[in-house]
Each structure stands twice: as C-alpha cells, then as structure tokens.
Structure 1
Amino acid sequence: MFIEAKPLQGQYVKLELLTTAHIEPLAAAVSDGESWRLWYASVPTPASMAHYVEQAMVAAQTGNIAYAVRDNCSGDIVGTTRFYDVQAAHKRACIGYTWYADRVRRSAINTESKLLLLNHLFTSSGAIAVEFRTHYFNHTSRQAIERLGAKLDGILRSHQIMGDGSLRDTAVYSIVAAEWPAVRNNLQARLHAYTRS
C-alpha cells in the first residue's frame, strides 16, 4: 500500500484504525451537536453509524484508510477522519470525511489530527500532493481548510448529486509537497499556542 495503515499518536489525539468497536462511541460523538442535520455536510446520523463505519472499512481494503479520533485527555472517541481517493501511482490522496463532537470543535484536536495525517502522507509516504474537497456552501469547512494553509484549486460545478437531490458544487483545495514544511510549521505553532493557553 502507498500509505501504511497504522495508528497515529499525538499529544492531544490518537488516530485509531476504524473498526466496528468504534460504532457506538462514534454514534455518541455525533450526537453531541447536530452537524448531521446540515444539508451541505456528509455527516452520518447516529442511527446510520454502523453502515457508515462498515462502508469505510470496506474502502480501507483498497487503501482508503479511515480513523476514529480519540481525545487523549478524556479518553473519548470524538470523531472520525480518513484518507480517500488514494492514488498510489500519482502519490497523492484526499483527506476528508472529517467530523467531530461539538465539544472539541476549534480545539487542538483537529489541528493535531491534520498534522499527524499530513506528516504521515508527506514524510512517511512521500506524497507529492494532498487534496481537500468540500461543499461550496460549507463555509466552516472551507475556512478550516484554508487555516491549514491549503490553496483553492477551483470549483467543480454540479459535481455531485446530494441525498436531497440538490447539485453540489465542490471546492477543491490542495497542499503540495514543497509547501509541507511551511504548513507543518504553521500547525506546530498553533499547537504550541494551545499548550500555552
């Protein structure tokens, strides 16, 4: 596999390879808030979590690695994230399917999760680029992606049909390998700021 499927350990979070044991903790995490009600987001409902996890595990067999995010402080599973659309021949992948319990939003959790994922992709796997894709109207997600240092590549118009039948325009962002050192420094500085606060 282009990207090694292994847990990733940080100071604030541990990214655990997704298994059926995470279904109930993830259902509890997504119940902290109502992000699954947002029409422009692809967040599972508590009731659909088993199907969501099982689909992610099937995709992992082809190199699309899914993680449950554990908060090291509380010990709780607080969300999920994954590598998807992994293209070994082109040394690139997307990072997405990321969501968190409301109580950990805008905390060190997402910052360190992204640092761990990007380091694994660029440093350990030798990737040349990573992509982030989100709904054009998901302004919160777009701002979070831009805070990482990713650059907007463009908008894929009428890219997907949503569950409600509406057409999704997809905002595509990327970070290329040459940008990784600066992005890493930015993320490390943000983590340091959490440590001091």
Structure 2
Amino acid sequence: MTQPPAAALCQAVSLTGRHARLEPLSPAHEAGLQDAARDGELWKLWYTTVPHPEGMAAEIQRRLGLQDKASMLPFTVFDDQGRIAGMTSFMNIDDAQRRVEIGSTWYAARVQRSALNTECKLMLLQHAFEQLDCIAVEFRTHRLNTASRRAIERLGAQLDGVLRSHLRMPDGTLRDTAVYSITAPEWPTVKTHLQWQLVKPR
C-alpha cells in the first residue's frame, strides 16, 4: 500500500456500519452527548474520565483543540436509530511511526454490551490499517478497569504491559495504565474475528 500523507491521520472522516455511525465531533452534538452521558451516570465511575453533562461543552472544545494540534481525531457515536450514543477518538497520533491509539471512548448505558462497540472498533481499526497504513493501533485503560480490559481483549488486542503510576486521575489517585495493541500483521485475523462477532448468534 502506498503510504498516505501524514496529514491523513488527522483528516476528518465519517464511518458508517449497520449498528453504528461515527461522525466528526461537533459543538452541535452537545445536547445529545449530555443525554448520553446521563444514561448510566458514567462520570461517577472513579476509574474513568467520562465528562459530566455540565462539562460537555468544555470536553468538546478540549478534543477539538487537540484535533487542531494534530494529536486527536474525535468522533461522535450514533446508534442504529440515529441517536447520539457516546464519543470515541483516534488519539496520541504518531505520524512518523504510523501509530494511533483508539481511546477516550464512552457509551450510554443503553448501548453497552451491544454490537455497537464491536462495530465501532471494527470501523476504526479498518480505517487505521487499510486507509491510513498504520503499523499498530493501541488501546489504553486503567489497570483496575476490568470491564474495559475484558472488552479490549475480546477485540483481539494483546497486552503490551502496564505503565505504573502513569497518570494522575481527577480524584488525585495514580493510574496504572494497561497498554494493549493490535499490529498490522495481526489485523487480517482480528478483522475476521470482529466480523464474526457481529454476525454470530447472540
């Protein structure tokens, strides 16, 4: 594959599947994102950094500011009914090494444990490997966020290691960060696995 220009890693794009749609994050999505965040009150989970509804406008601007600096490509997640269901992003974009992280992801409680997350990850990974020619895609989460770690492992990502005392959380505690990745040679197998996850009987 011919390597795309570095700027392509930060170029806004829409991705559409059967269960979900990813659109470039916009301030116009604020009200829908506030409603999604209220569904499950996810900001109350101490080991995550889901924005409070009252802080959603600031979070949108933070992510768009990182996009302006070419370090993040943020998306709003829509469900199959066209309702806003959460946020996700390409982040920690490394143009030189063709690496990205999929992260800063959260979903309304109503779509959790549904096909939506699997399809979102499939679309993002497919774009990263097949359009952006990435050599690896990372996933990072709190070492103690067992639900998130199980979800990442179900995608087919492998644990690279744990960064101890890596980040300070909003409540002042130190986060050990579990780092996972999928590499380009692994992608065809992971893609087949994710496609099966979407069609297998539930």
Bin of the TM-score, shorter chain as denominator length? over 0.9
Shift of 1:62: 2.7
Secondary structure in structure 2 of the residue aligned to 1:65: strand
Identity %: 49
Give the Cα–Cα distance (whole angstroms) in 2 for the partners of residues 183 and 9 of structure 1.
Answer: 19
What are the superposed Cα offsets for residues 9-50 of structure 1, whole Å, 9 maximum, x if unpaired? Answer: 111111000000111100000100021101110111111111
User: Of residues 136, 143, 147 in structure 1, which corresponds to 2:143?
Assistant: 136
Give the Cα–Cα distance (whole angstroms) in 2 for the partners of residues 112 and 21 of structure 1.
Answer: 24
Query: Aligned partner of 1:66: which letter?
Result: P
Q: Which runs of 5+ in 2 are unaligned?
A: 1-6
Which residue pairs with 1:65 in the alignment? 73
Is 1:80 the counterpart of 2:87? The answer is yes
User: Of residues 160, 174, 177 in structure 1, which corresponds to 2:181?
Assistant: 174
Shift of 1:2: 3.5
Shift of 1:159: 0.5
Give the conservation status (yes or no) of the 8 Å contact 1:2–1:91: no
Query: Aligned partner of 1:67: which letter?
Result: F
Query: Aligned partner of 1:65: which letter?
Result: L
Secondary structure in structure 1 of the residue aligned to 2:167: strand
Q: Which runs of 5+ in 1 are unaligned?
A: none
Which residue pairs with 2:108 in the alignment? 101
Give the Cα–Cα distance (whole angstroms) in 1 for the partners of residues 12 and 68 of structure 2.
Answer: 10
Is 1:51 the counterpart of 2:58? The answer is yes
Give the Cα–Cα distance (whole angstroms) in 2 for the partners of residues 172 and 99 of structure 1.
Answer: 18
Which residue pairs with 1:121 in the alignment? 128
Is 1:192 the counterpart of 2:194? The answer is no
Which residue pairs with 2:26 in the alignment? 19
What are the superposed Cα offsets for residues 108-167 of structure 1, whole Å, 9 maximum, x if unpaired? Answer: 100000000000000000000011110111110000000000000001001011111111
Secondary structure in structure 1 of the residue aligned to 2:51: coil
Query: Aligned partner of 2:78: which letter?
Result: R
Give the Cα–Cα distance (whole angstroms) in 2 for the partners of residues 183 and 79 of structure 1.
Answer: 24
Secondary structure in structure 2 of the residue aligned to 1:39: coil
Deviation above 3 Å: which 4+ runs of structure 1? none
> What is the RMSD of the two structures over their aligned residues, measured on CA atoms?
1.0
Deviates more, 1:60-69 or 1:90-99: 60-69
